[in-house]
Amino acid sequence: MENKTGKYLKYAIGEITLVVIGILIALQINNWNINRLERKTEKKILLDLNVEFKENLKDAQRVYNGNLEIVSAVNKIQENLDNNKLTSKSLDSLIYFVFDWFDYTSRPGASDNLINSGNLNLVQNHELRKLLTLWSGVEDELDDDEQLAIQYSQNIIIPFLALNYPLSKLEPFDYTLEFYNRTDINFKVYDNAIEYDMTTLLQNPVFQSHISAKKIYARHNVAEAFTIVETCQSILDLIAVELNKN
C-alpha cells in the first residue's frame, strides 16, 4: 500500500507539473502574441508620427526663416534712418517685411490621437514619450508670441503705414501665390502708386518705434520657432531609431 501511495503521489505531482508547465507556456505564447500586436501597432503609430512631424518641421523652418528675414529687413532700415542710401524700390521691399508676418500652422493628427486614445504607453522609447507629452506646450509658446505679433501688425502697423505710406507699393513683393505653387492664378499688380518722401517716413519717430517693436516681436518668434524646429528634429530622430529597431 505504501508503495502504491508513493507511486500515486509521484504520478499526481508529475501531472500537476505538466499542467503548470502547460499553463506557463500558454501564458508565454499569449504574452508574445500581445507584444507582437503591440509592436505592430507601435510601428504604425511611429510611421504616422513621422509624417506629421516632417510637416511640422517644414512649417516651423518657414516661420523661423521668415522671422529672421523680418529682423534683417528692419536692421537694414534702421541702418539707413539718418543717412539713407536706399533706393525707393529697395526700401519698399524692406517695408514689405514690416507689413508682413508669419504664422506657424501645426499638422495635428497622429500625436493628438495617440494621447487622446491613451495609447501613449505603446511607444517604448521613454524620451520620445516625454517629447510627445510636452509637444502641445511647445507649440502654444510660439502661438502666444505669434498672435501678439500678428495683432500688432494688423491693428497698429498697417493703419500707420496706410496713413503715411502708399501700401500699393508693396504689391510687387507679395509672393504668396508662388509660395503655394499657385501659378494658375494671376493677379494684376498695381504699379501706379504715388511717390512719397522717404526721408520724412524714415525720420518719423512713430515709424521708428513701430519697426523696433516689429523687430522685437520677430526676435521672440525666431526663438520660439527654433525651439519647435529642435523639438521636431529630436522627435524625428527618435522615431527613426525606433523604426530601425523594428
**Digit-coded pLDDT (tens) for 169-216:** 988 888 765 555 666 767 776 676 778 889 999 999 999 999 999 999
Global confidence as pTM: 0.82
Whole-angstrom distance, CA of residue 36 vs CA of residue 90: 62
Nearest C-alpha neighbor of 88 from the set 213, 229, 193:
193
Name which of 197, 174, 177, 196 is nearest 186 in CA terms: 177
Q: Provide mean pLDDT across the span 76-87.
A: 86
CA distances from 90 to 52, 72, 75, 86, 209 (A): 38, 13, 13, 6, 21
Task: Return the sign of the alpha-carbon dihedral for residues 230, 232, 234, 236.
Answer: negative
> Left (φ > 0), alpha (ψ -120 to 50) or beta: where does 109 sit?
left
pLDDT attached to residue 176? 64
Give the helix ranges, DSSP H, for 80-153.
Answer: 88-99, 110-116, 126-152
Q: Which of 4-8, 23-27, 55-59 is predicted with the least confidence, judged by mean pLDDT?
A: 4-8
Handedness of CA 178, 179, 184, 185 (dihedral sign): negative
Confidence (pLDDT) at 78: 95
Residue found under cell 523661423: 64
How many other C-beta atoms can be found within 10 angstroms of the C-beta atom of residue 236?
17
Q: What is the pLDDT of residues 212-225, one digit of tens each?
A: 999 999 999 999 99
Average pLDDT of the chain, as a whole number: 87
The residue written with cell numbers 523594428 in the block is 246
pLDDT of residue 123 exceeding 80, the answer is yes
| Predicted local confidence at residue 92, as pLDDT | 92
pLDDT cut 70: percent of the chain above it: 90
What pLDDT is recorded for position 179?
Answer: 58
Q: Is the alpha carbon torsion for 151, 152, 155, 159 positive or negative?
A: negative
Per-residue pLDDT, averaged over 62-76, amounts to 96
